[in-house]
Amino acid sequence: MSNTKRGRISFEADGDGHELALTTNAMCRYQDKGGETLIDGMAALQTNPNDVVRLRRIFWAALQGDYSEDEAGELIDTLTFAKAFELLTEAVAAAFPSQDKASGKSKTAKTQAAKPSTPAA
């Protein structure tokens, strides 16, 4: 479930509710740890969806709350790589909506781009 007005994606894992949000702070957190921009990281994941380190680091940076990277990895184990990648794709679409020039309505990046490949489960 997402709240695209606030760019948050809610999900459940291990019976608990969690949120992903690609806020400015989340993007900085990722760039500080990953040495690349979040957009570059997501693009690299589309090329190599089995890059587990990158997937975990982006997921960790987007998690709302006080989580370690190891705890983010444990959530991914609960969800599966494919589901974690899907949630990150939704979070990107929620964080970076674009304007539909014809109607003036906001349209998410997810609806404009082809569906990226998903990692092997």
DSSP line for 57-75: HHHHHHB-SS--HHHHHHH
Return the pLDDT at 98.
Answer: 73
Q: Mark 35-74 as b/e (b = at least 16 C-beta within 10 Å).
A: eeebeebbeebeeebeeeebbbbbbbbbbeeebeeeebbe
Return the pLDDT at 115.
Answer: 42
Q: 116: pLDDT confidence band, cut at 50, 70 and 90?
A: very low
Q: 120: pLDDT confidence band, cut at 50, 70 and 90?
A: low
Distances (CA, A) of 70 to 53, 61, 67, 91, 92: 11, 12, 8, 20, 22
Q: Are 34 and 62 in contact (CB under 8 A)?
A: no
Q: 74: pLDDT confidence band, cut at 50, 70 and 90?
A: very high
Q: Is pLDDT above 70 for 117?
A: no
**Arithmetic mean of pLDDT, 37-57:** 93
Q: Is pLDDT above 90 for 12?
A: yes
Return the pLDDT at 34.
Answer: 92
Helices 24-34 and 38-47 pack at an angle, to 10 degrees, of 70
Q: Are 88 and 20 in contact (CB under 8 A)?
A: yes
Q: Is pLDDT above 80 for 95?
A: yes
| Percentage of residues in the chain having pLDDT higher than 90 | 64
Mean pLDDT for the chain overall = 82
